Amino acid sequence: MTDSFEQLRQINQPDVRSKIRAGSYSGHTSGLADGFLQANLVILDQSYACDFMRFCQRNPKACPLVGVTDTGSPYMHTLGTDIDIRTDVPSYYVYRRGLLDETVTDISPLWNDQMVGFALGCSFTFEHALIRAGIPVWHIDNDRTVPMFKTNIDTIEAGPFAGPMVVSMRAIPSKKLEMVFSISANFPMAHGVPIHWGDPSVIGIADLNEPDWGDPSPVGDNEIAVFWACGVTPQAAILQAKPPISITHKPGQMLITDVAEDAEVPITSPAN
């Protein structure tokens, strides 16, 4: 039995995660679990872990590191009481030698005791705040995945990890631009303020109708294209680093955590 996006919008974050774990939902998570931090996921062999954490530290707009598992543990215990990264993301991308090899909904058969999971903040976290402020978010209203693009902005390299920054795009009413900046500034764990707005060619995007990930989203009259650094950036870096195996979330289908979206730090109390 599968659940619809609209059904999942009505339930709270542990229940959304349970539905996803049970395999009854494998769509995007934008608009779900209002009030809670969502996260990008990257899983690597421990031999890549140190360089990857350096990469995140050096590229904090794109890769705000909000959780790291112990080596071999699939439990992201600092982000919730019962988060198993093998099952709790709707769909996963499996990369082999840097190439996307398969898309699965459960990575338990692939997990091993040398793996480390990394959670990175996601812009979905602040979309609820935009909606509360009366700013429409087209891809939520239309049940689509936010469009994501590679840019001509280089990340700061760390070991084998390098490559272009990836951004997500939302069309914002021009007169609301300042409000959007001020709202997203409150979410430093979720990419903070936009890195660009207006002409996409300035950051190397040729055609807004051809996103590298996600679905195209229109930019209407009196709207402006606004670009945020995106937690899919590591997936571009994995293409360069070419680890034997790496696993990520499928872009748009995030890990939903128990951390409040406005928490000062991305840690649930260890006593929880």
Residues 6+ apart with CB under 8 A from 161: 51, 52, 54, 55, 155, 234, 237, 238, 240, 241
The single residue among 99, 156, 202, 260 that binds its own copies, judged by CB under 8 A, is 156
Which of positions 202-241 make contact with its own copies (CB under 8 A)?
none
- Closer by beta carbon to its own copies, 160 or else 216: 160
Please tell me whether residue 57 binds its own copies under the rule CB under 8 A.
Answer: yes
Please identify, among the stretches 33-41, 166-174, 233-241, 259-267, the one whose residues bind its own copies according to the rule CB under 8 A: 259-267
Please tell me whether residue 70 binds its own copies under the rule CB under 8 A.
Answer: yes
Please identify, among the stretches 134-142, 163-171, 230-238, 262-270, the one whose residues bind its own copies according to the rule CB under 8 A: 262-270
- Closer by beta carbon to its own copies, 138 or else 161: 161
How many CB atoms are located within 10 Å of the residue 206 CB?
A: 9
- Closer by beta carbon to its own copies, 117 or else 252: 117
Nearest-approach distance from CB 248 to its own copies, in angstroms: 18
Which of positions 74-113 make contact with its own copies (CB under 8 A)?
78
Alpha-carbon dihedral sign for residues 97, 70, 12, 172: negative
What burial class does residue 126 get, using C-beta atoms within 10 Å of its C-beta: 0-12 exposed, 13-18 middle, 19+ buried? buried
Bridge partners (DSSP) of residue 100 are 95
The single residue among 129, 140, 146, 158 that binds its own copies, judged by CB under 8 A, is 158
Q: CA distances (Å), 221 to each of 74, 110, 134, 224, 256, in order?
A: 46, 47, 18, 8, 34
DSSP state of 27: S
Instruction: Show the site string, 16-55: x = touches its own copies by CB under 8 A, - = not.
Output: ------------------------------x--xx--xx-
The single residue among 14, 60, 98, 160 that binds its own copies, judged by CB under 8 A, is 60
| Rounded CA separation 44/63 (Å) | 15
Give the CA dihedral 145, 151, 157, 158, nearest 10 degrees.
10
Residues that bind its own copies (CB under 8 A): 46, 49-50, 53-54, 57-58, 60-61, 65-68, 70-71, 78, 154, 156, 158-159, 185, 188, 192-193, 264-267, 270
